[in-house]
Amino acid sequence: MKKTLLTLIVITSITINAQTTFTLNQTVSLAGTADPYAIATGDLDGDGDADILYASSGNGLFSWLENDDTGNFGSPIAIGAGGYYYPNSVAIADIDGINGNDIIVSASDKVLWFANDGSGNFGTENLVASFPSFGASFVVVKDIDGNGTLDIAVSDYYSHELVWISNSGADPHFNGTKNTIASSFTNVAAFDIADIDGDTDVDAVVSNAIGVNPGGNDSKIEVYYNDGSGAFTVDTNPVANNTKDYMWSVFIADVDNDSDMDILSSDLYGNASWYNRTQVSPGTATYSETILTTTIANPATISFQDLDNDALKDIVLSTGASGAGNDLVWFKNNGAGSFASEDVISIVQNQPFTIAFGDFDNDADLDIASAAYFDDNINIFDNQLINLSVNDITFKKFNIFPNPTKNILNFKVPFAESFKVSVYDILGKKVLSSTLQNSNTLDVSKLNNGIYILKFDDYNTNLKFVKQ
């Protein structure tokens, strides 16, 4: 939203049409040849706003940027001893179940995690697992074996396999033992972990990136199904078999809003597309590809986020190219797998390989952070979602955090008196209600995982949150 707006708008007598544009709000210039290569967002200091974590492959640093609660970020704060060889991937998650979000990183021959003290101070590095030199590539954090702790999946580029390391739930949490998801998968690279077949456990979509020269079409995408305990079997049908060149990202999502999951993909030397998945039987599905028409050269990160607050997630795509041209675009979701022509977010970056999302300025819309590799910059784009034809608007500041949450919601409201809240599931059923004071918290630990709407009963105000 525009800077004059606060966190949420309380509206009466409304006729609304939404328009979404982005402005470059801040550029954090990194010292030397930083080559920022990976980025993630999340609350790292326990203050309820989204901070930025990134990896600099050029100078061997992992660092984070503190959000001042208005969407402006301070100078880089280094994590760990430094001198890490080829930092390649970062993630934010609460590994130990205390003191909020921790940090997970990959650096050539190892994956590490750093515990948070609750205030954004990170201690000594903890080894998750060791890998061959340059082997440890992407990392994803999910509960893979269903035991309630967050495990870590890693693509091992030079051992040609995707593996996961179990979190025991007690110190030191990881013992280095690698469990196989996919093996004999040449130069395994981008992957995603989520429940693709609707059986409540998380599965894997895996791709590879063979060679660095365009034109090979020797890469593939496959789905691996979890039996619930962390043992995986491959779908009898590949998603794509030697029709891709150098896969950069894959993303599991319900693209066509039909209540089952599909796959988004980007090929650095090919195209960006999505695959409609149709399950034939357990362990077998068919996949139909729709290629996106885009001006983006060398498609890099593809993601699925609701940028215009219409309850439909949109496609966002960045480039791995440098030089003139569009470098970050989005496709508005019109529903049922139909997307509008691309809208340009940025033309000023060089090689923003990776992007991440968060409501940085607490105005109830998603902003974008990018790691511009060639420019040595972290860029923050402000979502200026504009609501038109609003007759009687009162501006109030409401905020809930953390979001997503596992157990409790904290509140920031612009008054001191008690207030009533109700929680509804996505089907509109009321599942929880309470009367709170400003300083109160709401216990949502007994809710099932999913998306919920929280209504401030006396203020005609709703907020969406995710229960994990």
pLDDT higher than threshold 60 for residue 10: no
Q: Which of 458, 459, 466 is nearest to 406 (CA)?
A: 466
Residue 192 has pLDDT above 90, yes or no: yes
pLDDT given at position 398: 77
Confidence of residue 73 (pLDDT cuts 50, 70, 90): very high
Q: What percent of the chain has pLDDT over 90?
A: 74
> What is the pLDDT averaged over residues 433-456?
85
Residue 311 and residue 341 in contact, taking contact as beta carbons nearer than 8 Å: no
pLDDT tens string 286-322: 999 999 999 999 999 999 999 998 889 999 999 999 9
Q: What pLDDT score does 336 carry?
A: 94
The predicted structure's pLDDT at residue 15: 36
17, pLDDT greater than 50: no
Mean of pLDDT over the chain: 90
> Does the pTM of the predicted model rise above 0.85?
no
Return the pLDDT at 412. Answer: 82
Over residues 428-440, mean pLDDT: 82
| Number of Cβ within a 10 Å radius of residue 237 | 14
Q: What is the mean pLDDT of residues 122-144?
A: 96
211 or 294, higher pLDDT:
294
- Overall average pLDDT of the 1-8 stretch: 32
pLDDT at 210 > cutoff 60: yes
48-60: per-residue pLDDT in tens? 899 999 999 999 9
Report the distance separating Cα 444 and Cα 435, nearest Å. Answer: 14
Write the pLDDT tens digit of every residue in 80-97.
989 999 899 999 999 999
Q: Residue 438 — pLDDT band, cuts 50, 70, 90? A: low
266 pLDDT exceeds 50?
yes
**pLDDT classification of 18: cutoffs 50, 70, 90:** low
